Amino acid sequence: MPEFTMPSLGADMDEGKVQEWLVKPGDQVHRGDIVAVVETAKAAIEVECFANGVIETLLAEPGQVVPVGGPLAVIAPVGAFVESPPEVTHLPESPAASRAAEPSPPGAAVVMAPPPPAPLPRVSSPLVRHLAEEMGVDLASVRGTGRAKAITRADVEEAARRGTRPRVSPLARRLAAELGVDLRDVAGTGAHGTIRAEDVRHTVQATAAPGAAVRPEPAASPRAVPSAEPTEPSAAVPSESAAPPTAARGERATDRQAAMRRAIGRLMARSKREIPHYYLSTTIDMAPAMTWLHALNRQLPVSGRLVPAALLLKATALAARDVPELNGFWVDDGFVPGPAVHLGIAISLRGGGLVTPALHDAADLELSELMARMRDLVGRARAGRLRGSELTDATITVTNLGDQGIESVTGVIFPPQVALVGFGKVVERPWAVGGLLGVRPVVTVTVSADHRATDGYTGGRFLDMISRLLQEPEDL
């Protein structure tokens, strides 16, 4: 049975926290569907499914920390269910699914031993099933305590008493964690009573009166242990969220900062330890590109305008396609070319740190499309809503510190990639053209490349290609 495992969302990641499942047992999934939200040191990542099939069992609870490669769910190939025991096949959910939402025992949430093969729990009688229907209990969320883990009448009643887990939007969940709001206190107004961010804000406003009761901070709440009762809606929220809002927010932000620094530190140290970098740089006349861009933007509404970075990225992507030796990965003492040019873009996050999501197939995008995708990517990176594939697929990365007024940047390669391109600010400088001195906008581009994969000659060809492409911006 195919297992869906914690993906490696970047070479610097070794574990991730399941923040939320967007599917439940019995759901059909297709390759590329977003099935879960995983929190890494850097951001909340929407994780895509890599197979077609039906979710059979969810093996990790929200709040659980799972190492890369650790099991998250079992996905049955489509059609596998015909083999299920006949007495339960008419259930909407797979029989094995009834184990799905089985809460881990308190304290076990961070222990990552792979679970034993799921025994096929079942419903002991049609009466129980009927009862579940009447009480509105989803059998998939019930833990069987009967013989052979069968679900008994008592189990269903217990489940009904506890109530089902409310639906919560990811933003609402995050907001609640940040503001220290207990999701049980929030009335959902979305579809099927889904709790939306708006609802959380309302709850905060409603309880913001001076002296409003704040849930006391649990004594010595260890950071890594999620709320002890996994069936509670707040299970996905780290326990410190119960602390007074300001304290919780501060502590959380600091933790996150520290975790991100550690992640970046590990990756960059590995890069400098393992990769023999060489560096080349050149200054490019940007007059044709800037003139062309300016004329184009004059005809466009603000929403359609391009920024110079879009031209720089497109030129880089095309050059990477023409010099494929720099577009790919160094794996096991050999170079593996990238399947396409997926341009990693270094995006600084407000409040510190950076992420480098990939702009897929950048060399094939029209400039306007590339611009739109770049805006979308930056927006989602800062909002913490990137997809797993965006964090893993980059074949070459670009860093652009021009907005800060930096003139040149000599970057550190993101392993296992083999090149990193840095652009500085487009600045006006005295420039000799055709024997005359004039003032032109220029930009300094630098490539840091892995000497194991290429030699300086290749890097030089690459920079020259970028420069030439930027002289004919209308062809980009």
Which CB, 165 or 380, lies closer to other proteins? 380
Q: Contact, 407 vs 443, CB < 8 A?
A: no
Which CB, 35 or 409, lies closer to other proteins? 409
Which CB, 28 or 254, lies closer to other proteins? 254
> Which strand (E) or helix (H) includes residue 280?
strand 277-285
Find where tokens 């609802």 sit.
199
Footprint of other proteins on this chain (CB under 8 A)? 294, 297-298, 302-303, 305, 307-309, 348, 350-351, 374-375, 378, 402-403
How far apart are alpha carbons 383 and 377 in whole angstroms?
10
The nearest distance, CB 308 to other proteins, in angstroms, is 7
Which CB, 42 or 373, lies closer to other proteins? 373
DSSP letter at 84 equals S
Which CB, 73 or 306, lies closer to other proteins? 306
Please state, in angstroms and as integers, the Cα–Cα distance from residue 341 to each residue in 31, 324, 362, 373, following that order.
21, 9, 6, 15
Amino acid identity of residue 24, one-letter, is: K
Which CB, 90 or 350, lies closer to other proteins? 350
Which CB, 139 or 346, lies closer to other proteins? 346
The nearest distance, CB 278 to other proteins, in angstroms, is 29
Q: Is the dihedral of CA 214, 215, 220, 224 positive or negative?
A: negative
Q: Contact, 347 vs 357, CB < 8 A?
A: yes
Which pair of tokens denotes residue 445? 């581009």
The nearest distance, CB 351 to other proteins, in angstroms, is 7
Which CB, 235 or 374, lies closer to other proteins? 374
Q: Contact, 18 vs 109, CB < 8 A?
A: no
The nearest distance, CB 441 to other proteins, in angstroms, is 13
Which CB, 416 or 422, lies closer to other proteins? 422
Amino acid identity of residue 9, one-letter, is: L
Interior angle at CA 187, CA 237 and CA 169, nearest 5: 50
The nearest distance, CB 317 to other proteins, in angstroms, is 18
Cβ-count burial 149-177 (b if 16+ within 10 Å, e if not): bbbbeebbbebbeeeebbebbbbbbbbbb
How far apart are alpha carbons 330 and 332 in whole angstroms?
7
Number of other CB atoms surrounding residue 323 within 10 Å: 22
The nearest distance, CB 375 to other proteins, in angstroms, is 6
How far apart are alpha carbons 68 and 170 in whole angstroms?
22
The nearest distance, CB 292 to other proteins, in angstroms, is 13
The nearest distance, CB 307 to other proteins, in angstroms, is 4
Which CB, 189 or 404, lies closer to other proteins? 404
The nearest distance, CB 223 to other proteins, in angstroms, is 23
Q: Contact, 314 vs 362, CB < 8 A?
A: yes
The nearest distance, CB 115 to other proteins, in angstroms, is 40
Which CB, 145 or 404, lies closer to other proteins? 404
Q: What 3-state DSSP class applies to 376?
A: helix
How far apart are alpha carbons 469 and 456 in whole angstroms?
20
Residue 349 Cα to chain centre, angstroms: 14
> Which strand (E) or helix (H) includes residue 390?
helix 388-392
The nearest distance, CB 297 to other proteins, in angstroms, is 5
Interior angle at CA 68, CA 52 and CA 331, nearest 5: 90
